[in-house]
Structure 1
Amino acid sequence: MIYKFGEQLVPVTTEEWETDQVPAVFVTDSRHADETLAKAGIIYENEIQVAKIGFCRLENQQDCVVGTLCIPKLLDVLGSRYRMYFFVNRSNVVIVDDEDFSERLIRRIQQKKTHQGETKERFLYNYISEFISRDLEMLVAYERRLLRMEEDVSQEHTANFQTKLMPLRRELLNLRSYYDEIMDLTKELEENENGFFLKKHLKYFGTLTDRADRLMSRTSHLLEYAQQVKEAYQAQIDAKQNSNMQFLTVISTIFFPLTLITGWYGMNFKDMPGLEDGFPFVVVLSIVVIVGCIIIFKKKHIL
């Protein structure tokens, strides 16, 4: 698909574009990428392999700027991602996308934006800002999940806590790395090493860098909050274990002297005092030991 630059992104046919040769956005797939790049006047000697894109980055070449995007899906951050190339020269932008993600983004830009793509800088700004536009809402949802988990911990509802927290932390770690990559990519666009962008329009890329920086900071804050929730959970587990150990200590302290007494009088030596009539004495002694232990534990606020 070809979209002519202007206040509105107007789709044009190949024949119309070849007649006018106006700056445009080309959206294609990897099968037709070489043909489309040649049409747009972009030379790229490396092999285009959309499926192997693993991260977001920008590469400045002599004749063009080459970028790769690896965008997490909001409903499945740890799962598959949207992957695409974008190429920019002095006139045109080419997007290579084997899914319909870029087409959907452009349709959303057409529906929401008044100034859709007067220049390639404005188009790239709209394109990148559109696929991160819902991320703040997603991070707010993560914050609410952590708040609920913290409330559950405070109410001692800790069933399956670890199985809930660990995937959440992995997702946030993935998102933090992703926003860091986006921030680096937009910074390189702003640096304009090849001079393909007008200086007065570089502010668009600076705005994108600030947005990615805020998203990354928010994600880092959520990771710290997740760690605090985990520590609160661990503190509660430790408190329960200490309580159990304290209970076992009390039981052991009470029964240790009783074991000693019963062991002593269970030896049945011939000349042992109280061998014939010592049972009442042993019972009384055992009761005295138990009561004494309880009194000591009460004074030390153990019971």
Structure 2
Amino acid sequence: MRKMLELKYIEKLLEYVSSDIYSRLLACRHICFAHDKGAFLIAFHFCDIKNPSLRDERVCIYCGADELVFITDNRRCIELMSDIDAKTDNYSQLLQFFNDLTSNDVYELEKMEDRITDLEDSLITETRSNSKDTSNIIGMRRELLKMKRYYEQLALITEDLTENTNKAFSDELLKRFISLDKRMDYLLNSVTHLREYITQVREAYQAQVDIEQNQIMKVFTVITSIFLPLTLIVGWYGMNLKMPEFEWRYGYPFVIILSIAVVISSIAIFKRKKWF
């Protein structure tokens, strides 16, 4: 018999498990406890990978040979469980639920990979970096972190189920749960790969920012190098001393020509050295 309850009725699980196990359920983010009577107590936080920015919602399941109690407030999980034929055995319903829950996740991860690729292409083609690129990278990293934690929960749960410590599953059903566990591992590995990919994009973006900063510092260095000799000339002739050049008829034009020559010579040297 299948029961579907709202999360506020989670205390109903005390009818099936002890208070110690119930306390563990409330304290842990996820749990998969195999009961001696051929039942499982499962809990995890559902993450909608189509929109990972949404708040995670708790899902609790008690699955035994005679009872299947499904507790959550998440609409998608409720719809998935409602679409499953209640006439099938409870273990098959549990398997079907997890299969349906992750059936299209591969395609969503492919979309995420395409988003990262588009971001990488835009960073390469852009002439100058901007704050929007930084926010996009940070946002994707946060989404992938939520996905990673989500699939880690599911992978641990399916791993515990495949151990079949209470001998609840038949050999045929166990094979199907093992297949489900492999899918969870694949999804987790895919998210890990995407996290490494976005990290590489972030490092490439940071390298581009460093190059731009180096170019700016090079410009300032060139300008400083040009005006440094002029500063020396100003300091030299600005001293409060009587110099022969002050009485020379062409002293002022000489200083102007000398300053222009210094600037032109500096620019020519920098051009030859390819400093700008």
TM-score of Structure 1 vs Structure 2, range by shorter chain: 0.7 to 0.9
Which of 114, 129, 132 is equivalent to 1:158? 129
Go from structure 1 to structure 2 and tell me whether the alpha carbon gap of 1:74 and 1:117 turns closer, same or farther (over 3 Å shift): farther
Per the TM alignment, residue 25 of structure 1 is displaced from its structure 2 partner at its CA by: 2.9
- Match of residue 70 from structure 1: 45
- 1:59 lines up with 2:30 in the alignment: no
Contact 1:109 1:130 in 2 (8 A): no
Q: Which amino acid aligns with 2:33?
A: E
Which of 281, 284, 301 is equivalent to 2:254? 281
User: Quick check: 248-257 or 82-91, which moved more?
Assistant: 82-91
Segments of structure 2 that go 5 or more residues without pairing to the other structure are none
* Mapping of residues 28-67 of structure 1, within 5 Å: 28-30=5-7, 42-45=16-19, 55-63=29-37, 64-67=39-42
Per the TM alignment, residue 57 of structure 1 is displaced from its structure 2 partner at its CA by: 2.2
Per the TM alignment, residue 149 of structure 1 is displaced from its structure 2 partner at its CA by: 1.3
TM-score of the superposition, structure 2-length normalised? 0.87
Which of 55, 73, 78 is equivalent to 1:80? 55
Q: Deviations over 1:157-200 (max 9, x none)?
A: 63311222112101101111211111111111110111122133
Which of 68, 88, 91 is equivalent to 1:93? 68
- 1:123 lines up with 2:93 in the alignment: yes
Higher strand share: 1
Secondary structure at the aligned position of 2:231 is classed as helix
Which of 106, 131, 134 is equivalent to 1:136? 106
Q: Percent identity?
A: 31
Inter-partner Cα distance in structure 2 for 1:267 and 1:174: 68
Per the TM alignment, residue 54 of structure 1 is displaced from its structure 2 partner at its CA by: 6.0
Per the TM alignment, residue 117 of structure 1 is displaced from its structure 2 partner at its CA by: 6.7
Segments of structure 1 that go 5 or more residues without pairing to the other structure are 1-23, 111-115
Per the TM alignment, residue 60 of structure 1 is displaced from its structure 2 partner at its CA by: 2.1
Contact 2:63 2:91 in 1 (8 A): no
Higher helix share: 2
Per the TM alignment, residue 55 of structure 1 is displaced from its structure 2 partner at its CA by: 2.8
- 1:243 lines up with 2:215 in the alignment: yes
TM-score of the superposition, structure 1-length normalised? 0.80
Go from structure 1 to structure 2 and tell me whether the alpha carbon gap of 1:201 and 1:47 turns closer, same or farther (over 3 Å shift): closer
- Match of residue 222 from structure 1: 194
Q: C-alpha root-mean-square deviation of aligned residues, in Å?
A: 2.6
- 1:105 lines up with 2:76 in the alignment: no
Contact 2:60 2:72 in 1 (8 A): yes
Per the TM alignment, residue 300 of structure 1 is displaced from its structure 2 partner at its CA by: 0.8
- Match of residue 3 from structure 1: none
Inter-partner Cα distance in structure 1 for 2:11 and 2:271: 84
Contact 1:121 1:204 in 2 (8 A): no
* Mapping of residues 177-196 of structure 1, within 5 Å: 177-196=149-168
Q: Deviations over 1:82-115 (max 9, x none)?
A: 32211122333222234544431034445xxxxx
Inter-partner Cα distance in structure 2 for 1:117 and 1:126: 13
Go from structure 1 to structure 2 and tell me whether the alpha carbon gap of 1:230 and 1:284 turns closer, same or farther (over 3 Å shift): same
